[in-house]
Amino acid sequence: DGGITQSPKYLFRKEGQNVTLSCEQNLNHDAMYWYRQDPGQGLRLIYYSQIVNDFQKGDIAEGYSVSREKKESFPLTVTSAQKNPTAFYLCASSIVGGSSYNEQFFGPGTRLTVL
């Protein structure tokens, strides 16, 4: 089955620690995205990547970092510089092209809690 996997499902972090969230896709999509979801708000874009070894900041990139060494993988690191990291994190992927309506496919999410 093609899809997107995220791990872990739940993650707990102590103050001052960096943590890395995994995202893998086998849809052969070029583009991958990381979103943050907080209660009562829509999704906010953290980072996105359209091609291997290249990525761009989204609206709320401060305190986060990413890498794109492989087409299938787009890990997100939440650093200690992120002041309020407790949230639900969603990874997505899509094809890249001229159409304005390329569907994004989502993983099941990782819930991060800072203790």
Contacting positions for another protein (CB under 8 A): 4, 31, 40-45, 48, 50, 58, 88, 90, 92, 96, 99-104, 106-109, 111
SS3 of residue 96 by DSSP: coil
Q: Sheet harboring 4-7: ordered strands across?
A: 4-7, 19-25, 76-78, 64-66
Q: How far is the CB of 51 from another protein (least distance, A)?
A: 11
Q: Are 48 and 102 in contact (CB under 8 A)?
A: no
Cα Rg of the chain (Å, integer)? 14
The residue to which tokens 């989502």 are assigned: 106
Nearer to another protein, 53 or 100 (CB): 100
Nearer to another protein, 84 or 101 (CB): 101
Q: How far is the CB of 3 from another protein (least distance, A)?
A: 10
Nearer to another protein, 4 or 19 (CB): 4
Q: How far is the CB of 103 from another protein (least distance, A)?
A: 5
Nearer to another protein, 10 or 15 (CB): 10
Distance CA 100, CA 115 (A): 40
